[in-house]
Every structure is written in structure tokens, then in C-alpha cells.
Amino acid sequence: MSDAQKKEKSFQSGHKIIGKPLARHDAWDKVFGKTVYADDYFLPGMLYGKVLRSEYAAANILSIDTSEAEKLPGVKAVMTAKDVPNNETITRFGQTHSVGGFEGLYRILAYKKVRFRGEAVALVAAETEVIAQKALKLIKVDYKPLLGVFNPIEAKKPGAYKVGESESNVICSYKVRKDDVEKGFALSDVIVENTYRVPAQDHAYIEPESGVAWIDDDGVITIRVSTQVIEHFREVAEVLGLPHNRVRVIGTMIGGGFGGKEDITVESYLALLTWKTKRPVKLTYTREESILAHGKRHPYFMKYRTGATNDGKLMALEAELISDAGGYVYLSPWVLLYSTVGATGPYDIPYVKVDSYTVLTNNTFSSAMRGFGVPQVCFAYESQMDELALRLNLSPLEVRKKNYLKKGKAMATGRVLDRYVAFPETAEKALAALGEQSKPKSPAEKIGRGIASGMTSYGRMVFLHDTSRSYVGLDMDGSVTVRCGVQDLGGGQSSSLAQIAAEVLGVPMKDIKVYIADTALTPLAGTTTATRQLYMSGNATLKAAKEIKKNLLNKAADILEVKPESLDLQDKKVVVKEAPDQTIPLTDVIATCASDGIPLYNVAQFNAPFRELIDFKTGQGQVFPDFTFGTHAAEISVDVETGKVKVLKLVACLDVGKAINPLSVEGQLEGGTIQGLGYALMEDVVLKKGVTLTPSLSEYLIPTSLDVVDIDKVMLESGDGLGPFGAKGVGEPSVTSIAPAVVNAVCDALGIRIFDLPLTPEKIVKALKKS
């Protein structure tokens, strides 16, 4: 190859920074413990806030006496519902385009009635944490315990105890109807019918909820908080009766969110206490308080009836889904919608009937958690597929291959999949990656293998008219500043933006500075939820950076007297593509642009496709922008005497579209796999009459590093995603199908099926004894 050819090749060779496994720009700080999190902030004159929480899951509040607490030296504020300017709000959904229906009552502090154990009843701010703790004990609340209801099936029945004020416990329900499902069953040779149950799961982030608030020199209530949604500044302003721009939320680096910091956690309490005392206030939950007080993954009861022909073709699916919303509405209607749309899984089924309900109970409220209703139904439909495989004498892979959706085919909701669908590819690759089956090491051990496929949306529901904004600016010396409201969960959300800007502008990563998550100073990028940030703020940043590049290349084209299309940016130079040694230093072009008044900054807005609400009576229409498809495979060994499951091999195979930073994507795949493994084998927020029996991480078990094996990560890059450079989202898709893969493996080993999670050793032994 000649030198010129080599140069041209290096020029056209793909991306310089995108697709490279890079340590995130914040990685080393995290390793060395230098990263500052919400609880690390201290301000002069700061007070400590604490929350008094309800002892009872269901009770009337007859009276609250705060006089003793107020008298305690060092106590600066004690607040109850009557002290909150606007204590009640209606849960709205969507940060810009509000969607009507399914509004639920939501209170900052309990008023006259408590609806779950741990509900906030009063707030205290004091000079020290010890004093605040003592003050809590001095608040006298007179409760009248009520009956309560603790099971959504019970709560759904007419005449059940009313959790709310007077409205029905059934918050909402959806239907999907595709033709007449009975026709489908009539055409089926085999029908499999089962009821599946999944428990509440806790996010168990390493960083509990935390924040510090103060009033700045202009009287703006400023809240520095670990949150996935800085846009809550609007709700907080409304609680205080202030204009929106008089509340500022600054998001900190988050030590794990997973959806648990998607709703307002400490923001309102902080705002109230600082507003009342006029002093800075800090509030950090203990782990036990976090487990007690924040929303959980929705428990579901799922009745599935699946029909197929003898050669494995699915004919009919009938599902009834009931979720436990807990004491307040929060995001239950939306989680239910995700489950309803996802209830059929990635399969082409001609006759479908789905009915779903979400129901209030006096359990801890349920809300967003990684997967948002999809992991639950995936457990059900992937268990059904394996049951069908058994009945039909087909392998799990074979029965799935006969039914996978393809590009161009429609889901049961009528939505046509218009982009590449990585099935059966991910299933074949995942199974192959398991390699040769391991041999049992003792007579009590049985080995089993399982796969499970999932399809998980990325990007928000399209009727929310999602948008995101990002600012990119080039400084005189060629260094770059990105300002974006994106909240960084630890998933590399801010680092990705640096990579995108670096790629487009030809500037090294170390010269890019990203400022994030400040409602006053960074363009709002929307929530870090719904696996949307790479797609949305990534695209906004891409758009902004491209605009600057256009201006630079146009000016350079003038200078060099060539066409702009023949130029590119590389290593802080403008380069002629055909003759790479013809360059101008970037700083020269910048200087010329500056003096000619050409803008070298851009604030871009990226809009996701806007659609309207689907018809909830038939469930027909488009709900999501796109999906990520993947399959997990697992090999396990079970000790048939003790029921203990040991994980031998785990494979996560997903089509990620384009891995902007492969290291980050691998991190998501690993984390998602482990979180799903916990869901399958050991995680269970156990509530008895609304009281938690797993109050700390000693009882609520999550996998330790010794419970996991190296996870084989097989990333496919179809390039067919809607995100920058063809990327898809992976944050939630990485957790969807791992639990059913593990369960399928256990059931393969044991020859029996277990229908509810988690598969504890005791449950396994009991099931074996029964069979």
C-alpha cells in the first residue's frame, strides 16, 4: 500500500473516539474516592433534616403534637402537613407534554390518613443529627389503625378496604385485542396455562437518597440532590407556591439510581425545611430508611394462557396482569402500560387478548425500576415458551425460532417493527457462547441450561413528545465545553457526550469539559430514565457539535478555497481529506470565525418522534420509539438436597446498535445481568401486612461478588438504532431477560417448573418434594 493510500485509509477508517473502549473521564476519580456525592457537601450554618415516618401501613391520623419536639434545644423547625403551602399534588407524567388521565393524589406529608408504613408524617431540622433524631422521638402522633389491604387481588374486589380517599383501588386498566383469541385457542393443538408471581425488588443503590438545600443570594431555593430528574424543580416550586424559576435543582454524580431516584425523594423535604429555617439543610437517608420509604419494582400476578400448534407455531396468547401499586399512584399506570405492550414478548402471535390492572394496596408504593414492567412479563412469557417446548418436544431455541418477530412484522399492538430485529441471532449466539455443558461435581448436583429473549424499549413513550437539549461551545484555544441537563447515574451518561463532541470536532477527550444537571445553567435534557439519555441528549449533543463543525468547515473552505465537503476535523486541525498533510490549525480557523462573527457554539434540541395516545380499549398503536433486542443464556448447577443454586455460566447477548464506549456498554450488560440474577435467586422485599421483614441489607439479599461468575458479553452492532451513530439504549434491556434465563436453567436441571420468584433454596426443595 502506498503512503497516499495508507493516509486515505486512515482517514476513511471509521471513528476515532466513538467505539473505542475508553476509561470514562470520571472513572479514576471514582476509583480513588475523589468523586463528590450529595452527602459529601457541607455548608456553613447547615442544619440536619430528618423525616418522621408512619408506624402503620393503614391508619387515620387523629392528631399530631409537635410541641415537645419544638422545645428541644437545637431544633429549628418541625413541620407537618398543615405547614406545607401546597401539600397535595396530582401526579402528572411527562416533563413537557402532560398526559391526562390516571392522575393520582400524592402528598408531601401525610394528612388525616396514612397509606403505607414509612409514609412521611413530619419533618424536623436541627443543629445536629443527634438532636434531629431525638426530636423525632418527641413528636406524638395519635394513630387509629385501620384494616388495610395488602394484596392487589383482594384490593381489586368490590367492597375491599379503600386505600385512597373514596376512589376505587383500581387505578387504571388496559386492554390489547388482536382478533378473537378464542379462535386462536381453537386452532391450537397444545395449550399451556400458568400463573406467575414476581416480588417487589429494591434498587439497593450503593448511595442512599441524599441532598443539601439552601437559599441563595437572590432568594432562589437551591437543592443539590442525587436525582435522575432535575425537572422536578417545577413540582417543588408548586409545593412552595413559588414561580418555577425560583427553585433550582443541581444534580450530583449519582451512586446508582435504577429508577429509585426518578420520583421526588428528598427534594420537597429539603426545600420546605430550608424555606422555613432560611438555613442550609442536609437530608440523607439511612439504608433502612431507604428500604422502608422509597418505591419498589411492582409485584405482579400474571395469568398466562398460551396456545400453539404441534409444530410449535404460537396461535393464541391470553394474559391477565395485576400489579401491586402500593399506597400511592406514582408511575403505576405507565409501568402497567409497558407490561401490557410487552406482554406478548418478541413473538408473532395472530390472536391476542391482554387485560391488565394496577391496584392500590397498603404496601410500600411501587414505582420505576430498571425495566419498568418489562422484566416481570418477560419472566412469564419466557417461562411459557419453555413449557411449550417441553410439551411439544422441541428445544427452547427451536420453539422460539419458529415465532420470533422480524423487521417488517407487527406486534400485537399493530405497531410494525421497522428496524433490524436481532432474533434469532442473539439467541443462537448466546446459546453457542455457553459452550460445552459442565459436568456435575457430586451426586447431589444437577446441571441445567436456559435461555430467554427480551425486547425492551428505549426512549420514552411517544405520546410524551420527548425532547432534549444540549449546548456545545468551542473556546479560542480549541477546548470544548458541553452543557447539558443530563443526570449521570454512573452509567457514563456525561462521558458519552464528551465522546460524541470529541468525535465530531476532532478534539481529544481530555480537552472536553462537560457540565451537567443544573436547571439554572444547563439546557434541560429530560430524565435519565427509560434508557433515553444516549438516544436523546446524545443526539442533541451530536446535532449541536455538527452545527459548529459546519461553521468551521465553511470558514476553512473559504480560507483554503476548496469545497467544505472535502474537509474534516482531526487532532485539532482542519484536514483536507484527499491530501491529509494539508492542514490548518483549528485555532486559526476559530480566530477567523470569531473575528468574522461566526458562532462557534450551538444549543440544539432533539425531538423524538411525536405521536398521540393509543387507544386503550384495543391497545393498538405505537407506544415506543424503538426497541433493543437481546437474549440471555445461563448454565447453573442445583444441589437437589439443599436447593442451592450455583451459577456456572452467564451470557448476555444484545444488539446495542453501536457501542459508543464499549467499556461502558459492557458495564451495563454486567450490572444488568447481576441485578437480574438477584431478582431470580434471592431478592425479595418481604412485606407482612405492610410491615417489611427485610429492613436492611442483612435480610434483603443481593448477590455478592462471590455469587457471580464472569459474564460473557456478546455485543452485536447492527448500527440500526435511533441514537447517535446508530446506537440503541442498553440500560434497561440489559436486565430484562436474565431472570427467566436463570429460571429456565434451574427448571431444566430439576425437570419441574417453579412459577414465582425468587427461586430460593427452600422454594426449590419444597417444589421437588411436591413433584
Partner 1 sequence: MILSEIRLHSPQSLAEAFKLLEELKEARIAAGGTDLFVDMKQGLIEARDIISLQKIEDLRGIGKEDKGIRIGAMVTAQEIISSSLINQHIPALADAARSMASCQIRSMATIGGNISSAVPSADLPPSLIAADATVELRCSESFREVTLTKLFAGPRETICQTGELLTFIFVPFPPPNTGISYQKFALREANALAVASVASRLTLKDGKIDRVAVVLGAVAPTPIEALKTSEFLSGKEPSQSLFEEASLMAKKEAKPISDIRGSIWYRKELISILTRRALTEALLQAQRKSRTKE
List contacts with partner 1 (CB under 8 A): 128-130, 288, 641-642, 644, 682, 686, 693-694, 698-699, 701, 703-707, 760-762, 765-766
End-to-end CA distance of the chain: 69
Specify the residue, 256 or 761, whose C-beta has the smaller distance to partner 1: 761
State whether residue 339 is helix, strand or coil. Answer: helix
- Closest separation in Å from C-beta 111 to partner 1: 29
- Closest separation in Å from C-beta 760 to partner 1: 7
Residues sharing a CB contact under 8 Å with residue 398, sequence separation 6 or more, in sequence order = 312, 389
Q: What are phi and psi of 260, to 5 degrees?
A: -75, -15
Q: Give the dihedral of Cα atoms 254, 610, 237, 249; nearest 10 deg.
A: 30
Specify the residue, 90 or 130, whose C-beta has the smaller distance to partner 1: 130
Dist. CA 574–CA 571, nearest whole Å:
8
Specify the residue, 90 or 697, whose C-beta has the smaller distance to partner 1: 697
Specify the residue, 611 or 763, whose C-beta has the smaller distance to partner 1: 763
- Closest separation in Å from C-beta 633 to partner 1: 22
Specify the residue, 275 or 700, whose C-beta has the smaller distance to partner 1: 700
Q: How many CA atoms lie within 13 A of 410 on its CB side?
A: 11
The answer to whether 556 and 584 have CB atoms below 8 angstroms apart is yes
- Closest separation in Å from C-beta 642 to partner 1: 6
- Closest separation in Å from C-beta 132 to partner 1: 11
> Cis ω on the peptide bond leading into residue 564 (within 30° of 0)?
no
Of 25, 352, 360, the residue nearest 169 (C-alpha): 360
Specify the residue, 208 or 342, whose C-beta has the smaller distance to partner 1: 208
Question: Residue 597 class from Cβ within 10 Å (0-12 exposed, 13-18 middle, 19+ buried)?
Answer: exposed
651 pairs with which residues across the strands? 633, 712
- Closest separation in Å from C-beta 537 to partner 1: 37
Of 654, 687, 685, the residue nearest 671 (C-alpha): 654
State whether residue 193 is helix, strand or coil. Answer: strand
- Closest separation in Å from C-beta 600 to partner 1: 51
- Closest separation in Å from C-beta 265 to partner 1: 22
Question: Residue 7 class from Cβ within 10 Å (0-12 exposed, 13-18 middle, 19+ buried)?
Answer: middle
Computed from CA positions of residues 524, 369, 101, 466, in that sequence, does the dihedral angle turn out positive or negative?
A: positive
Specify the residue, 129 or 398, whose C-beta has the smaller distance to partner 1: 129
Specify the residue, 441 or 766, whose C-beta has the smaller distance to partner 1: 766
Specify the residue, 567 or 682, whose C-beta has the smaller distance to partner 1: 682
List strand residue ranges (DSSP E) for 380-479, in order: 445-458, 467-474
The answer to whether 355 and 175 have CB atoms below 8 angstroms apart is yes
- Closest separation in Å from C-beta 647 to partner 1: 10
